[in-house]
Amino acid sequence: MTTRPRRDDTLARLAPERTLRRLELQVTRRLDGLLNGEHLGLLPGPGTELAEARLYQPGEDDVRHMDWAVTARTTTPHVRDLIADHELEAWALVDLTPSMDFGTAGMVKRELAVAALAAVGFLTVRLGDRVGAYLQHPGGLRRWPARTGKAALYALLHAVLDAPTGPATEPPAAMSGTTATSGAPHGDLAAAITSLARGQTRRGLRVVISDFLPPAPAAHDTGTGPDAQPDWESPLRRLAARHQVLAVEVIDPRELDLPDVGLVEMTDPETGAVQEIVLSRRTRERYAQAAAAQRTNTRAALRRCGAHHLVLRTDRDWIADVARFAVRQRRAAGRAVTTAGVRP
């Protein structure tokens, strides 16, 4: 009899304390000033601005921060948080649709998404900044409010691990700390990016964690091939015009090529449809070509959007990939500064 590992054990494996300390001591120094920018005041004055309203905690909150408008509307005492101008906000959009529950290399893509979110999150909260997330569940989009501190980040990581799996038949049940948002139907990455851009206008870091796989084309649809412009490109370009955007592409090796195993039964994780396919040599070659074309198209679209592109694979060491990415970005930033300094 086998038992399923607890979520705490899974999270400890994906983001153990030793790994987090390594990230904080090594990767953070390379990313300081690159992902987080400068801590500058937004407006002259007391150095704070209003944030979101939350329930009043007796004995902990200052009654002078009471939000009377929200209190009157909800008949429950609420206070309005204040954000220091020097604090920045990092918001992540995490794709938790069924395609992210696929994995053949000892780790599913959802777990790798948790690791990526942990890396970005701990780099952010180390400096006292806030991390929030939009979680794209099967059937809808849920918003996790931006908070500071490691405890809040661990709660967010647990929420990602505990998210429902499988094809969507109804909107996901509400989780503690999340609020439902509108405008992002099941599997629609473009709508989710639009919701993130409209809901969070304060400048900062925006991270999109997804496999960026296009939806299966309908029988009459001829414009969704591997070379077609992704529907998420336009909203992502608008997002990158205001914020610094990091796109984390999560890949499993079986999505790039198929093994020579003959007749197999494949299930579409998004719809649950089952189909038998003979993996002949010609079929595997055509699949590899289409997969390579789709990845090339994704890479080109992200470049056109002006987003930084980090690729994580389930069969690789994600910490090493993050470190190499940080080094490349630091060197690129240094070359850009040097080039700008010699211009007439």
pLDDT at 226: 59
* Res. 247: pLDDT tops 90: yes
Q: Give the C-alpha separation, 299 to 181, whole Å.
A: 29
Q: Give the C-alpha separation, 23 to 36, whole Å.
A: 15
Residue count (the chain): 344
Least confident of 15-24, 36-45, 120-129, 216-225: 36-45
- Phi first, then psi: what are they for 216, rounded to 5°? -65, 130
Q: Which bin fits 237, alpha (ψ -120 to 50), beta or left (φ > 0)?
A: alpha
Which one of 76-90, 94-108, 224-238, 241-255 scores highest in mean pLDDT?
A: 241-255
Q: Record the tokens describing residue 189, joined without a space.
A: 């990455």
pLDDT tier at 211 (50, 70, 90 boundaries)?
Answer: very high
Q: Please write the tens of the pLDDT for every residue from 81-125.
A: 765 544 577 899 999 988 888 888 878 899 899 988 988 887 777
Greater confidence (68 vs 51) lies with 68
Portion of the chain with pLDDT greater than 90, in percent: 23
Calculate helix-pair angle for 318-341, 109-125, nearest 10 degrees: 50
Q: Please write the tens of the pLDDT for every residue from 64-82.
A: 888 898 899 889 998 887 6
pLDDT at 195: 93
Across the chain, mean pLDDT equals 75
Identify the CATH homologous superfamily for domain 7-39+87-255+298-341.
von Willebrand factor, type A domain (3.40.50.410)
Hey, where are the domains in the chain?
A: 7-39+87-255+298-341, 48-84
Q: Please write the tens of the pLDDT for every residue from 143-160.
A: 998 888 888 888 888 888
DSSP 168: -
DSSP letters for 18-41: HHHHHIIIIIHHHHTTTTS-----
The answer to whether 157 and 122 are in contact (CB under 8 A) is: no
Residue 329 CB burial class (10 angstroms; 0-12, 13-18, ≥19): middle
pLDDT tier at 277 (50, 70, 90 boundaries)?
Answer: confident
* Res. 39: pLDDT tops 60: no
pLDDT at 148: 84
3-state percent breakdown (helix, strand, coil) of the chain, nearest 5: 40, 20, 40
Q: What is the pLDDT averaged over residues 250-278?
A: 83
pLDDT at 196: 92
pLDDT at 2: 43
DSSP letters for 174-239: P-TT-EEESS--TT-HHHHHHHHHHH--S-SEEEEEE--PPPPPPTT--S-STTSPPTTHHHHHHH
pLDDT tier at 9 (50, 70, 90 boundaries)?
Answer: low
pTM over cut 0.85: no
pLDDT at 162: 79
pLDDT at 29: 44
Strands (E), 56-178: 78-84, 89-95, 130-137, 140-147
Q: Look-up: residue for tokens 């010699």?
A: 342
pLDDT tier at 227 (50, 70, 90 boundaries)?
Answer: low
pLDDT at 312: 93
Q: Please write the tens of the pLDDT for every residue from 281-327.
A: 898 899 899 999 999 999 999 999 999 999 999 988 888 888 788 77
Q: What is the pLDDT averaged over residues 160-185?
A: 59
* Res. 219: pLDDT tops 50: no
pLDDT at 135: 93
Q: Please write the tens of the pLDDT for every residue from 10-31.
A: 666 666 555 555 555 444 444 4
Q: What is the pLDDT averaged over residues 252-269?
A: 83
